[in-house]
Structure 1
Amino acid sequence: MRIHFTVEDLARLRMVASLGPVAESVFALDLFGRNGGASFNTWRRHVRDRLGEGVGNVEQLVRERRTPVELLEMAARSADRAVPRPPAEEWVSRRVTATVLGFCQVAVLPYWSKVRGHLESERDTYGRITITNGVECLLETLHPRLCWNPPVLEVSDTEDHDVHLRGRGLLLSPSLFLQGRNHLFLDREHETGLPALVVSAPCTSAILSDLTETPTSDDEALAALVGHTRAAALQALTESCTTGGLSERLGISLAGASKHATVLRKAGLITTARNRNTALHTLTSLGMALLHGEPFMAPQPQRN
């Protein structure tokens, strides 16, 4: 694959630490089902034990051999309730999404603060390279499987085709669980709408050890994931409310409530429906299960 940049694309290049816990869980589920990444074998056994009866749903999804891109698209469609779909398609989407979220709750969320810290460190390293040597140096050193041949970023081990950014820019993100695949391209990342290129981050023995430790209690894990104020925001959103309502329930400014809601939405924990100048925030299935420490269950097909 060849990604073609314009001057506008280079100017609009952005980098985030992660696409969020749901995206990382999709990559982790893909890694869980593949034989690659031998260093993750202990983690696989640990996750299998923690899944318990839910491992059957995960193994079924693995056997379907859906790609990470497909799983991310299905999760995005499942969150968009405004788009009507045929009942059969809706059920498949809900089943797949529920399985991904259940896997997320067991394999990623209890360790998210450490995973995100590791990825933030990688992002900061890339940032220092960019500040010191420029954007082109970043693209030259982003990943061994990528080759910067101005104005084209050549991505090996993918389909032979061209992607023209046409001034849209590009979102870059490291991933801990994208081991073996090295990189993944999304034509449109759900939250930002930007084309995105995810690259695998180096995995250290320390982070591997963190992934097999006994998780902290539900309350501590929730606070570590989103912070104490945002944990309180999740509690406040057990009943949907507007940004103004959230501000009143938490006793914080309107701007602060809006900022916390944005972070929770990007993490896939709430959805926001807008009507003119009003934003109504609602917990997602992931947010509800995280809040109450409940396992996700894949929906069962309806019988006539």
Structure 2
Amino acid sequence: MLRIDFTAEDLGRLRVAGEPDPLWEITLSLHLLQNRQAAVVFDPWRREVRAGLARAGLTATTTALTRLVPSAAYFPDFLTPGQGTAPDLHTGIELVLSTPRRRLAAELAQLCPRGPVPPLVRRLAEGDPRALQGLGGALRRYYAIAVEPYRPAVREAVRADRSVRSDAALRAGPDGLLRSYGPALTWESRTLTAPYPHPRDLPLDGRPLTIVPSFFCVLMPVTLADDGLDPVLVHPLGPAPGWLARARAQGRLGAADLPVGQLIGPTRALVLDALEQPRTTTQLAELLRLTMSTASRHATVLREAGLVISERRGHEVFHVRTGLGDALMDGAL
């Protein structure tokens, strides 16, 4: 059982993340690929993702990632930085790769307390630059297959959950907000309790608790292992069985099926949809299986139309949607 005690001041500091956190969705979806939890809900996704990973030649890469994120009570906290508020995948991965070496060594040591340490884990624990860059690439490639294509369904679930939480908070303040998480979470006498693999108290110590909704979190909430980090509580969104089939039938998982596709063309609509978060031309080409020249041409046309901006970060140029591009994709124009 997990127990979190609140003071009146703690209730005033309570926060709820407004968007899914890409790094939490990566780690928790990796858990689901290693177990059969919520089989009725997620088995169609498991089959689809495993096939997609195999086609992309990422089966071995995913196996390596599962050694860092085992389906167990512990996995390293540095893989989910930003206290549940990483704004996009690129920023989240940069935070992962900038983890201090001492912290890498301490957290990774807990993965293999008794058995032999796999070479990848050892190199990461030593802060090897090539191993860290390889980890960043693996996370990006895995996300592109296992999470990115399902982002519309994830966003829809998060928005629906946020509406429920907002209504509860407006009606009854922080007490009402925390009660709205029942029955998964129990709120009574300023104490929040939840099922957990082992008995644990999570001290707030005057720090704000951030509650993070997660599509791929199932059965019970998850929190960081280190009490010294700013407290985060990740809670399951609990999609209903058949979510994947319904989303496909309704066209929510393909930008080409959106009305904007009829205006700017299906491929350009896919490019604009993908640029909800910053991406290089190379990343766009890999994600959408386009040639570099085609991806560059679409990005240029969208930029000239004011739907995308491009900015240099070091040696790379990233493209991202503008407010006008967001409005077009959301049908707000």
Normalising by structure 1, we get a TM-score of 0.65
Per-residue CA distance 1:110-148 (angstroms, 9 max, x = gap): 231331122111111111011112321221231423221
Instruction: Indicate whether 1:88 and 2:123 are aligned.
Output: yes
CA 168–56 in structure 1, closer or farther in 2 if over 3 Å, else same? same
| Distance apart, 1:154 and its partner CA | 1.4
Instruction: Indicate whether 1:104 and 2:143 are aligned.
Output: yes
CA distance in 1, matches of 2:31, 2:145: 15
55, 58, 62: which one aligns with 1:54 = 58
1:148 maps to 187
CA distance in 2, matches of 1:283, 1:184: 37
| Distance apart, 1:196 and its partner CA | 1.3
Instruction: Indicate whether 1:158 and 2:197 are aligned.
Output: yes
CA 200–112 in structure 1, closer or farther in 2 if over 3 Å, else same? same
CA 62–2 in structure 1, closer or farther in 2 if over 3 Å, else same? same
69, 75, 78: which one aligns with 1:70 = 75
Q: Which segment is superposed worse, 100-109 or 79-88?
A: 79-88
| Distance apart, 1:70 and its partner CA | 3.0
CA 222–25 in structure 1, closer or farther in 2 if over 3 Å, else same? farther
CA 110–141 in structure 1, closer or farther in 2 if over 3 Å, else same? same
1:302 maps to none
Residue segments in structure 1 that go unaligned for 5+ positions in a row? 239-249, 252-256, 262-269, 271-279, 289-304
CA 188–160 in structure 1, closer or farther in 2 if over 3 Å, else same? closer
Amino acid at match of 1:197: L
Answer yes or no: is the 8 Å Cα contact 2:17–2:211 preserved in 1.
Answer: yes
1:37 maps to 38
CA 136–75 in structure 1, closer or farther in 2 if over 3 Å, else same? closer
CA distance in 1, matches of 2:172, 2:14: 15
CA distance in 2, matches of 1:131, 1:124: 11
CA 69–38 in structure 1, closer or farther in 2 if over 3 Å, else same? same
CA distance in 1, matches of 2:272, 2:232: 29
CA 16–284 in structure 1, closer or farther in 2 if over 3 Å, else same? farther
CA distance in 1, matches of 2:205, 2:174: 18
Per-residue CA distance 1:38-81 (angstroms, 9 max, x = gap): 12111111111111220222134335653597355136496245
Answer yes or no: is the 8 Å Cα contact 1:6–1:165 preserved in 2.
Answer: no
Per-residue CA distance 1:90-128 (angstroms, 9 max, x = gap): 345444443332221111112313311221111111110
CA distance in 2, matches of 1:119, 1:68: 25
1:294 maps to none
226, 232, 236: which one aligns with 1:200 = 236
2:289 maps to none
Q: Rg: which structure is higher? A: 2
| Distance apart, 1:234 and its partner CA | 5.8
Amino acid at match of 1:70: F
Report percent identity of matched pairs: 22
Residue segments in structure 2 that go unaligned for 5+ positions in a row? 82-91, 106-121, 256-265, 285-302, 320-333
Structure with the greater relative contact order (CA < 8 A, sep ≥ 6): 1 or 2?
1
1:183 maps to 221
Provide the aligned length of Structure 1 versus Structure 2: 246
CA distance in 2, matches of 1:113, 1:72: 27
CA 130–148 in structure 1, closer or farther in 2 if over 3 Å, else same? same
Answer yes or no: is the 8 Å Cα contact 1:176–1:200 preserved in 2.
Answer: yes
Instruction: Indicate whether 1:7 and 2:42 are aligned.
Output: no
2:288 maps to none
CA distance in 2, matches of 1:206, 1:284: 40
Answer yes or no: is the 8 Å Cα contact 1:183–1:197 preserved in 2.
Answer: yes
Compute the RMSD of aligned alpha carbons: 4.1
CA distance in 1, matches of 2:13, 2:26: 27
CA 78–125 in structure 1, closer or farther in 2 if over 3 Å, else same? closer
Instruction: Indicate whether 1:118 and 2:153 are aligned.
Output: no
Answer yes or no: is the 8 Å Cα contact 2:21–2:212 preserved in 1.
Answer: no
